[in-house]
Amino acid sequence: MVDKAVVHVIDDDEAVRDSLAFLLDVNGYKAEAFETSNAFLSKTVESSPACIVSDIRMPGMNGIELVRRLKSDGVTCPVILITGHGDVALAVEAMKAGAVDFIEKPFDDTVLLSAIRAALDARPAQSESAARTDAEARLSELSPRERDVLQGLVAGKINKVIAHGLNISPRTVEVYRANLMAKTGARSMSDLMRIALAAGL
């Protein structure tokens, strides 16, 4: 029998842990829940296919610190971070640190499940130079103003702040964001960040 993929859920909110564990269980995953990053780190991670779903804001070690700690310990288990609406800047920082995805609350169950599937199915990453070439090709169609908006997003700024800095309306920033997604083929905000970071923005 094939071992079920393990999903480690780390969240200080018991109700969130329970609902995520239930969702994962009914979708064929083995869920293991932890209240804190330290509780997770004190356990030996199994070698069967696994991924981590962690809240970004927690007492003690937060989600970004967890990503950095795992990286420094040589743990290659992919990490998906769940983030509150105001945490996008933190989530971008987490992507830079090595998280594979971030999902903004409130999210649809299907969004989380597809992110977990993608994290578990991820092929060995393409070489950095190939990833950069691909990312630069995707960004080559952008107008200078779209690039400005993307720079603001990579810096973790919200629409209103980007709009103020570029002297345009927040609504116009939304239009540019939609253009960015369409032109780069990004399926989500985290996908767009991955492309931008690979291109060296």
Predicted pLDDT at 33: 92
Using an 8 Å Cβ cutoff, are 159 and 174 in contact?
yes
Residues 107 and 133 reside in one and the same domain = no
Burial of 134 (0-12, 13-18, 19+ CB in 10 A): middle
**Cα(70)–Cα(123) distance, integer angstroms:** 19
- The domain total for the chain is 2
Q: Which two tokens stand for residue 21?
A: 């564990």
Q: What are the φ/ψ torsions at residue 68 (nearest 5 degrees)? A: -65, -40
CATH number at residue 171: 1.10.10.10
**Cα(20)–Cα(44) distance, integer angstroms:** 21
Residues 37 and 73 reside in one and the same domain = yes
Residues 16 and 95 reside in one and the same domain = yes
Predicted pLDDT at 1: 39
Residues 117 and 136 reside in one and the same domain = no
Predicted pLDDT at 55: 92
Could you list the pLDDT tens digit for every one of the 201 residues in the chain? 346 889 999 999 999 999 999 999 999 999 999 999 999 988 866 556 789 999 988 888 888 899 999 888 888 888 999 887 667 777 788 888 888 888 888 888 998 999 899 888 875 555 667 778 888 888 898 999 999 999 998 888 888 999 999 999 999 999 999 999 999 888 888 888 888 888 887
Q: What are the φ/ψ torsions at residue 86 (nearest 5 degrees)? A: -85, 5
